[in-house]
Amino acid sequence: MNPRRLVPKKVFFTSGVGVADDPLLSFEYALRDAKIERFNLVSVSSIAPPNIKIIDIDEGLKYLKTGQVVFCVLSRFTSNEKGREIFSSVGVALPKDKKYNGYFTEYHGYYTGKEEGYAKNMARNMLKSIHNIEVDKEFEIFKKATVIDYTTVISAAIFVL
């Protein structure tokens, strides 16, 4: 396989919540809510390739086939502590100069009210600390839920090769 084919050209963001009497089933329901249950997801780390284009979920899903191996940055959190709030988020920061890479960050846990914006801010800080260049786009997908039974929240950046 040509390694250049593994550099994503596009990315879309999605999130979901799943509730069930089993943690694995709640994760499956969260994937379904996010519309990504039909793919074999492979979590990757934090690099946004140069020139990556952010697209919406409906466009992104058109490029993917059932059973396909799909690379993603995935934030996932499951709890069964009834009444607690949980969250997941994925942030991205992309540079103005498209020859440089950007960064993704994932963040998840118990919600205290201070978590929104954290993943985006960390991605921006990573980008500025390595390249010291202007940020063009910052974005964060953030999902929270109140735990009912086993509850899973996911946020994901899904790559399209």
The domain that contains 156 carries what CATH number?
3.50.20.10
Nearby residues of 6 by Cβ (< 8 Å), 6 or more positions away: 71, 161
Q: Please give the residue that has the higher pLDDT: either 5 or 56.
A: 56
The CA angle 139-97-137, to the nearest 5 degrees, is: 10
Nearby residues of 42 by Cβ (< 8 Å), 6 or more positions away: 69, 70, 71, 72
pLDDT at 80 over 60: yes
- The pLDDT of residue 133 is 82
Number of domains in the chain: 1
Q: Domain span at residue 66? A: 3-160
Q: Is the pTM of this model over 0.85?
A: yes
Angstrom distance (rounded) from CA 124 to CA 137: 9
pLDDT band at 121 (very low <50, low <70, confident <90, very high): very high
Torsion of Cα atoms, 154 then 155 then 157 then 158, to 10°:
40
pLDDT band at 3 (very low <50, low <70, confident <90, very high): low
- The pLDDT of residue 1 is 58
Reduced to 3 states (helix: H, G, I; strand: E, B; else coil), residue 22 is coil
